[in-house]
C-alpha cells in the first residue's frame, strides 16, 4: 500500500459518512457480486446490523475514503448478492492496494481475537492508545500485532542465464522461489544462505536485495533477494519441497507465482535485466 492509505488507531472515532467495509469470517471476505464481477460493500453501518460479531474496527482511509472491518457472525444469513471469498481466491480480483488492505484487516481482526488475554499471566488486556497494542494491567506486559519476516531468494548461475526454482506438493505445474522464515538471532542474508542449503542443498553468495511485500498468510513480511550459485548439488529437502531444478530464462515453467506476488515481480525483474 502506498502513502494514499492513512492508518487509524484506537481510540479513533468511527466515521459517520458512508464507508467501504471489509467484513471477514476468519480468512474470507464478504463482497458484493455483480454482473461485472465482485466489488467491496459500500454504505452505512445499518447494512450489517444482523451479521456483526464483536466490535467494528476503523482501519483508516485510502484515497480519502474510510475503511472499516469486523468479524461476521458464523450463523449470519447473508443477502443473495453477497458472497464470502477466501484471501487466496481474491488474489487478482482486487487492485493491489485494496488487496493489501484486506490482508491488513484480516491480520488486525486475528490479533483482536488472540490478544484479549495476557500470554504471561492470563489477565484480560487493555488497549494501548494510538496503537493496536495491548497491555496487561496486572503484570505490565505489552504486546503488538506480530509481523514474521521471511525471505525469498532468486538463485541464478554464474552466467545469469539460468534460475533455480522450487516446487511444493500440491502446486501442480507451478514453480516458485526458495523461501523461509527468519530465525531468532539471524540476519536476512544469513537466512538466505541457510534456506538455500536446507531446501536445495546449495551454497550461494553475492546476495542482493530486490524488494519486499506484506503477505497476510497469516502475517509475513516477505523480503526478496537475488543470489549467485557457488556450489553444491541441487536436491529438494523432501520436507517442504519435492523438487528443485534449474530453468533457462527462455524455458521457464508453464506456471509461475501469481502476478501480484513478490516472487513473480522478482522473476520479471530478473528477466528484464537479463534481456537488456
Which of 93, 114, 135 is the endpoint of a domain? 114
- Identify whether 168 is part of a domain: yes
pLDDT for position 3 = 62
pLDDT for position 274 = 57
- Identify whether 119 is part of a domain: no
Contacts of residue 153, defined as CB under 8 A and 6 or more positions apart, other chains included, come to 177, 178, 179, 192, 195, 196, 204, 207, 224, 225, 226, 227
- Identify whether 124 is part of a domain: no
The total number of structural domains in the chain stands at 2
- Identify whether 138 is part of a domain: no
User: Do β-strands 148-156 and 220-231 pair in parallel, antiparallel, or remain unpaired?
Assistant: parallel
pLDDT for position 35 = 86
- Identify whether 131 is part of a domain: no
- Predicted confidence pLDDT, tens digits, the chain (276 residues): 446 899 999 999 999 889 999 999 988 999 999 888 899 999 999 999 889 998 999 999 999 999 999 999 988 899 899 999 999 889 888 888 899 999 999 999 999 999 999 999 999 999 999 999 999 999 999 999 999 999 999 999 998 899 999 999 999 999 999 999 999 999 999 999 999 999 999 999 999 999 999 998 889 999 999 999 999 999 999 999 999 999 999 999 989 998 889 999 999 999 987 554
pLDDT for position 26 = 86
- Identify whether 189 is part of a domain: yes
User: Which CATH number does the domain housing residue 53 bear?
Assistant: 3.90.79
Which 3-state string (H, E, C) describes the chain?
Answer: CCCCEEECCCCCCCCCCCEEEEEEECCEEEEEEECCEEECEEECHHHHCCCEEEEEEEEEEECCEEEEEEEECCCCCCCCCEEEEEHHHHCCCCCHHHHHHHHHHHHHHHHHHHCCECCCCCCECEECCCCCCEECCCCCCEECCCCEEEEEEEEECCCCCEEEEEECCCCCCECECEEEECCCCCCHHHHHHHHHHHHHCCEEEEEEEEEEEEECCCCEEEEEEEEEEEECCCCCCCCCCCEEEEEECCCCCCECCCCCCHHHHHHHHHHHHHHC
**Radius of gyration in angstroms for the set of CA atoms belonging to the chain, rounded to a whole number:** 22
User: Which CATH number does the domain housing residue 237 bear?
Assistant: 3.90.79.10
Q: Which domain holds residue 75?
A: 5-114
Which of 92, 114, 136 is the endpoint of a domain? 114
- Identify whether 92 is part of a domain: yes
pLDDT for position 268 = 95
Residue 54: how many other CB atoms lie within 10 Å: 12
**What pTM, to 2 d.p., does this model score?**
0.88
Same domain? For 87 and 175 the reply is no
pLDDT for position 1 = 47
- Identify whether 183 is part of a domain: yes
pLDDT for position 276 = 47
> Whole-angstrom Cα distance, residue 184 to residue 12?
34
Amino acid at each position: 500500500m502506498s502513502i494514499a492509505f492513512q492508518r487509524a488507531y484506537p481510540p479513533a472515532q468511527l466515521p459517520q459518512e458512508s464507508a467501504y467495509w471489509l467484513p471477514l469470517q476468519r480468512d474470507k471476505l464478504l463482497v458484493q457480486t455483480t454482473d461485472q464481477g465482485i466489488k467491496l460493500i459500500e454504505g452505512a453501518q445499518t447494512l450489517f446490523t444482523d451479521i456483526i460479531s464483536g466490535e467494528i474496527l476503523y482501519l483508516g482511509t485510502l484515497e480519502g475514503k474510510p475503511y472499516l472491518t469486523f468479524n461476521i457472525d458464523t450463523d449470519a444469513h447473508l443477502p443473495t448478492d453477497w458472497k464470502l471469498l477466501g484471501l487466496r481466491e481474491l488474489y487478482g480480483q482486487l487492485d493491489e492496494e485494496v488487496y493489501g488492505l484486506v490482508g491488513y484487516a484480516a491480520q488486525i481482526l486475528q490479533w483482536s481475537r488472540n490478544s484479549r488475554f495476557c500470554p504471561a499471566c492470563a489477565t484480560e488486556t487493555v488497549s494501548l492508545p494510538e496503537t493496536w497494542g495491548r497491555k496487561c494491567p496486572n503484570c505490565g506486559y505489552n504486546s503488538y500485532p506480530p509481523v514474521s519476516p521471511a525471505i525469498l531468494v532468486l538463485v541464478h548461475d554464474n552466467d545469469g542465464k539460468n534460475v533455480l526454482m522450487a516446487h511444493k506438493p500440491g502446486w501442480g505445474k507451478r514453480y516458485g522461489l526458495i523461501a523461509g522464515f527468519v530465525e531468532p538471532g539471524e540476519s536476512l542474508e544469513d537466512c538466505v544462505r541457510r534456506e538455500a542449503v536446507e531446501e536445495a542443498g546449495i551454497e550461494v553468495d553475492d546476495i542482493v536485495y530486490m524488494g519486499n511485500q506484506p503477505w497476510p498468510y497469516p502475517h509475513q513480511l516477505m523480503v526478496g533477494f537475488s543470489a549467485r550459485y557457488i556450489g553444491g548439488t541441487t536436491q529438494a529437502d523432501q520436507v517442504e519441497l519435492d523438487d528443485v531444478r534449474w530453468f533457462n530464462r527462455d524455458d521457464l515453467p508453464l506456471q509461475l507465482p501469481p502476478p501480484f506476488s513478490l516472487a513473480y515481480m522478482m522473476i520479471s525483474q530478473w528477466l528484464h535485466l537479463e534481456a537488456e
